[in-house]
Amino acid sequence: MKVLSVLLLLCLGLISNQSFSQKNAPKVVVGIVVDQMCYDYLYRFYPQFGKDGFKRLMDKGTHFRNVTYNYVPTFTGPGHASIYTGTTPSNHGIVANEWFYRPFGREVNCVEDTTVSTVGSASSYGKCSPYFLRSNTITDQLKLTYPSSKVIGVSIKDRSAILPAGHLSDGSYWYDYATGNFITSTFYKKQLPQWVNRFNELLLVSKYVNQPWNLLKDSACYTYIQQDNSPYEGLVGGKTSPVFPYDFSKATPADQLSLFTIMPAANTFLTDFAIQALSNEQLGKHATTDFLTISYSTPDIAGHTFGPYSLEMEDMYFRLDQELARLFQTLDKQIGKGEYVVFLTADHAVVPVPQFLKDHQLPGGYLFLKDKIDALRTACVATFGKDYLNTIENDNVYLTNEILGSELEPQVISFFKTEISKWTEVKRVYTKGELETQTTENWQQMVASGYDKERSGELIFILQPGYLPKSSDTPGSHKGTSHGSAFNYDTHVPVLFYGKDILPQDVFTPYEIVDITATLVHILEVQRPNTTIGKPMLELFKTR
C-alpha cells in the first residue's frame, strides 16, 4: 500500500511541471467552515455585520438558504468529512469525533495515527493523519486531476485541518496545545516550511491571550446585554461568573494556551495564518486552481460553553465578521476580484441549552447515562447470566466481543433494544440489522447514513428533540450545550458561495450538505470524487 502511494506521489511530481489550465475555473477556491454556526446567525447578527464580511457573501453571493445535514451524528469530524467528500459517514467512515474501535479494543480519535509523528513541536498533538477517512475529498480529486494545483488546510482543531484537505494535501496545519504553534505531522512532511516557522516565532498566542476579551461594540448593539450573567453558561479560566471581560492574563502559561482557543482572538490568529499561507504558498499563482480550506473552531469551543443565546456568542460573531472581511480584502488584493471563489458553511449547528428550553416551557432535557448503564448491566446479568455490554458511546451500544457472532447475539441485541426503548428520553432504537436494511423512515435513514459496520455499535439510539446525553446529574451538566442530533437545530446550516461567475441570489431549493462537493466538482472541472452521492446545486451555474 505504501509503495503504491509513493509511486502515485512520484507520478504526480513527475507531471507537475507540465503547464496547462482549466477552461473556466477560478484561480483559488477558499472553503470556510465556521464550526457550530447555525443558519439563523446570519440574520440574528445581520444588522451589526460590516459590509465586507458575512454581508458580502449574503448580498453579493448565492445564498442557499435551505441546506441540511442528512445523517446523524452531527459532529465536527463527520461534518468536515461530509462537506469535502460529498458523502455520508456510512461511506467516508468518519462516524464521530471518537468511537470505540474493535480492532484496537479501545476508543480512537477520527484523525489519530500512531504511525506518524508531530512536526513543529515535541508534543504528541501532531500524531494525526486522514488514515480513517475512507473516501477521496474534493481536494484529493483536484490534486489527482491537476497535479499543479496546491491544497492547504488550516484550523485550530486537528480534524478540521486534516479532513478537508484530504490525503494529498500539500500542507495541513493545526494548533499545538503544548506550544501555541501551528504544527503538522510526518504524514505530510518532515519539517515545517520556513514561512510556518517564521509565523510560529512571532509568538502571537502569548500576545493575543494577554489582551482581555471585551465587547467590540457599543452595548446598544447587543440583544443579550442584560443577560451576561446567565445561569445557562459554563465557567472558564477560574471565573466565578460568566461575564465580560474575559481576562486570562493571570492564568498559568499552560492554561493560557488552552483558554486562548475560546477567545475570538483565536479567529484572528487563524486568519493571520491563512493569509500567510495564501502568499507564501503562492496560492492562485499556479497553472490550475489552488484550494485553501479554513475552519474556524473557536465559535464551537465558545458555543459549547455559552450556548447560542449569549452575549459572548454575539460578540464572537461580530468579531468573526471582521476577520472574514480582512480575509476577503486580502483575496481581492492578492488574487483579484472575480478570480476566486469562496464558500462558507458549518460542520453542524447546535441546540439551545436544554435547561434553558425546560425553563422556557419548551421540550428538552437530559439523558443521564451513568445510572441507566448500571441498570442495563444488572438487567443483562439477570437475563443472560453475564454482562454483555462493552460500552455506550455517542448513543452507540457496543457489545462485548464474546457475544458477537455467537448464537445468542440476536437475543442479546433484541434485549438491549427492548430495554433502551423504555427510556422516555429516547425516541428510537435501531439494531445493526435494521440499519443495513432499506427503509423509507426518515430517522432510520439518517442513522443508517451515519452507520459503519466496523466502527458503529450493534445498536444506535436517538434522543427526543431538545435532549442531550450527560454522564450524571450535576450542577455543571445543566450549563452549556452540544450537538449531534438529527433535528433541525443541529442540521440546518448556512451555505453561501461568492466570487467568480457567481450571481447574487437567494435560493430556497432544499439541498443536503453532501451537495457542496457535487457542486465544487463543476467549479473545479474535475470528476466526482469516488464516493460522492450529492447532486450539484444547479442555481449556482445560472451565468455559465
Binding site for Zn ion (CB under 5 A): 35, 76, 300, 347
Does the annotation list 159 as a binding residue?
A: yes
Does the annotation list 157 as a binding residue?
A: yes
391 beta partners: 398
Task: Provide the minimum distance between the beta carbon of 289 and Zn ion in the complex, in angstroms, as a whole number.
Answer: 27
**Cβ contact 153:172 at 8 Å:** yes
418 — phi, psi (to 5°)? -60, -45
Residues contacting 475, CB < 8 A, separation 6+: none
Query: Where do the DSSP E strands lie in 402-539?
Result: 426-431, 459-463, 467-470, 492-499, 505-507, 511-512
Q: 448: part of which helix (H) or strand (E)?
A: helix 442-448
**Cβ contact 36:480 at 8 Å:** no
Q: Which cell goes with 313?
A: 456568542
Pick 35 or 52: Cβ nearer Zn ion: 35
Pick 35 or 312: Cβ nearer Zn ion: 35
- List the one residue out of 193, 146, 152, 147 whose CA is nearest residue 170: 152
Pick 141 or 310: Cβ nearer Zn ion: 310
Task: Provide the minimum distance between the beta carbon of 449 and Zn ion in the complex, in angstroms, as a whole number.
Answer: 18
The C-alpha angle 325, 48, 43, rounded to 5 degrees, equals 95
Pick 76 or 148: Cβ nearer Zn ion: 76
Distance CA 520, CA 196 (A): 28
Pick 159 or 286: Cβ nearer Zn ion: 159
Collapsed DSSP state (helix, strand, coil) of residue 437: coil
Distance CA 395, CA 485 (A): 10
Task: Provide the minimum distance between the beta carbon of 527 and Zn ion in the complex, in angstroms, as a whole number.
Answer: 29
Pick 196 or 493: Cβ nearer Zn ion: 493
Residue nearest to Zn ion (CB): 76
**Cβ contact 487:500 at 8 Å:** no
Q: Which cell goes with 418?
A: 427492548
**Cβ contact 78:89 at 8 Å:** yes
Distance CA 183, CA 173 (A): 5
Distance CA 139, CA 289 (A): 10
Pick 37 or 399: Cβ nearer Zn ion: 37
DSSP string, 99-110: EEETTTTEEEET
Pick 302 or 403: Cβ nearer Zn ion: 302
DSSP string, 130-164: STT--S--HHHHHHHH-TT--EEEEESSHHHHHHH
Task: Provide the minimum distance between the beta carbon of 79 and Zn ion in the complex, in angstroms, as a whole number.
Answer: 6
The C-alpha angle 244, 248, 253, rounded to 5 degrees, equals 170
Residues contacting 379, CB < 8 A, separation 6+: 415, 419
Task: Provide the minimum distance between the beta carbon of 343 and Zn ion in the complex, in angstroms, as a whole number.
Answer: 17
Q: Which cell goes with 83?
A: 462537506
- The catalytic residue positions are 76
Residues contacting 61, CB < 8 A, separation 6+: 342, 496, 497, 498, 499, 502, 504
Task: Provide the minimum distance between the beta carbon of 489 and Zn ion in the complex, in angstroms, as a whole number.
Answer: 14
Task: Provide the minimum distance between the beta carbon of 491 and Zn ion in the complex, in angstroms, as a whole number.
Answer: 13
Task: Provide the minimum distance between the beta carbon of 312 and Zn ion in the complex, in angstroms, as a whole number.
Answer: 17
Binding residues for substrate are: 97, 157-159
Q: Annotated binding residues, as ranges?
A: 97, 157-159
